[in-house]
Amino acid sequence: MDWGIVLNPDEKKALFSFITIYTLSAFILISIIAVLYYNKAVSQKTSMCKNDLKTTILSVEMHIMKAQIEQKSYHFQPSHYKINVGLFDINKHPISSNLHYSKIDFTKMIDMQPTYVHMIKQLPKPIQNVSYIVAEDLRMPQEFFNLKLLIAMTIFASMIFIIFIGYLLSKLLLKPVKEHIAQLDKFIKDSTHEINTPVTALLMSVSQLRKKGIKEEKLLRHISISSKLIANTYNTLAHVSFKDLTQDEDIKSFDLKKEILKSIVFFTEIAQSKKITIHSDLKATYIQMTQQEGSKLINNLLSNAIKYSHPKSDIFVTLKNNTLTVTDHGIGISEKDQKEILKRYKRASELGGGFGIGLDIVSAICKKYNLSLTIKSKPNQGSTFSIDLTNILTSS
């Protein structure tokens, strides 16, 4: 059935969790009902079995006593009875029997085994040499097996039905939510697309004005910083809105040092607005990934460092020993928040602004290429983000 609903991984996980909990709860409830029903049915069938055995024994005893009263020899006729019967003397030796199982425990009045049920009655005194009458029922085990099979099949069919209903209900509940989210996504995509053109124009205009020697450097600087901030926001939104942006770009080998230098040039003006100085210690390191993802990796780490650094502080970017490290002296991250900070929309503080998407993008790229990302941070002392690039290193 096509519902026209495409779920992202998080939504699929939530849907799976809902159906699992719903199904497990239903299974527990059905199992409890099934156990109660089984116990009641077993009790009823056991009672009926005992009554049948007692009735058979009494019937046999009556016929033996009748033959004794009429002073006739008793002739055992198994076909007269629905269940098997055995007659035994005082020494427990068989006189007449059509019992299927000859192993009899005469110490018990009733002996219930997995394959048969025996009921034993000892006569007060022997009648025509008969001291014990044993009745045997072979139907009970099969009836119990059939009962278990019926309950198991009922539970299985019920669970299939419940899972199907749960799936339908979850889809029905998700449909209006998905439609609303789709509208929001479309709005964000359209807005993001529209932002790109004026931002690019602003950056180009500032560059042209500087080339022409316009003296309003302070004004141009403010326009440039604002434009770059908007451009960085656009890049973040574009990554979220157009997830297939990098799918058409080929993975290739390039020097990450060059991408880092480009990012430092781009962010230097923004950092200077907070009187932050960016220091670098870079060695040529060739890696293999899409160049766009390499750029996003360093851009988001630098942007994050600038947002949460204290004014008049320093940021250190190092690329050596196959490791990229960005260190800031800012508000830091508590040990508790370090476990959550890489999740989307999670921010270390409300003071830095932003959407809480940057580190989620860094984390996603690291996962895609199986890169180890470590965080060392202390509140009010700063943070260090390190990425081990060993898995994507190339010779050139």
Of 156-170, 233-247, 265-279, the least confident: 233-247
Domain count, the chain: 2
For residues 316-323, give the mean pLDDT.
Answer: 93
Of 3-7, 270-274, 300-304, 313-317, the least confident: 3-7
DSSP-assigned states of every residue in 28-97: HHHHHHHHHHHHHHHHHHHHHHHHHHHHHHHHHHHHHHHHHHTT------GGG-SSEEEEE-TT--EEEE
Last residue of a domain, one of 110, 142, 174: 142
Range of the domain at 370: 248-392
Pair of tokens at residue 121: 């009655």
- Tell me if 308 sits within 8 A of 328, measured CB to CB: yes
Spatial distance between the Cα atoms of 236 and 357, rounded to a whole number of angstroms: 7
For residues 254-272, give the mean pLDDT.
Answer: 87
Report the CATH number that the domain containing residue 338 is assigned in CATH.
3.30.565.10
Quickly list H helices, the chain.
9-69, 139-211, 217-241, 256-272, 291-308, 335-338, 358-368
pLDDT for 244 beyond 50: no
Residue 147 lies in a domain: no
Q: What pLDDT score does 355 carry?
A: 47
Could you report the per-residue pLDDT of 30-60, keeping only the tens digit for each? Answer: 999 999 999 999 889 889 999 999 999 999 9
Q: What pLDDT score does 3 carry?
A: 47
pTM of the complete model: 0.49
Residue 113 lies in a domain: yes
Residue 223 lies in a domain: no
Compare 213 and 302 and report the one with higher pLDDT: 302
Residues 253 and 386 in one domain: yes
Give the confidence band of 354 by pLDDT, cuts at 50, 70, 90.
very low
Last residue of a domain, one of 86, 110, 142: 142
Q: What pLDDT score does 5 carry?
A: 53
Residue at 184: amino acid letter? L
Last residue of a domain, one of 109, 142, 175: 142
Q: What pLDDT score does 353 carry?
A: 47
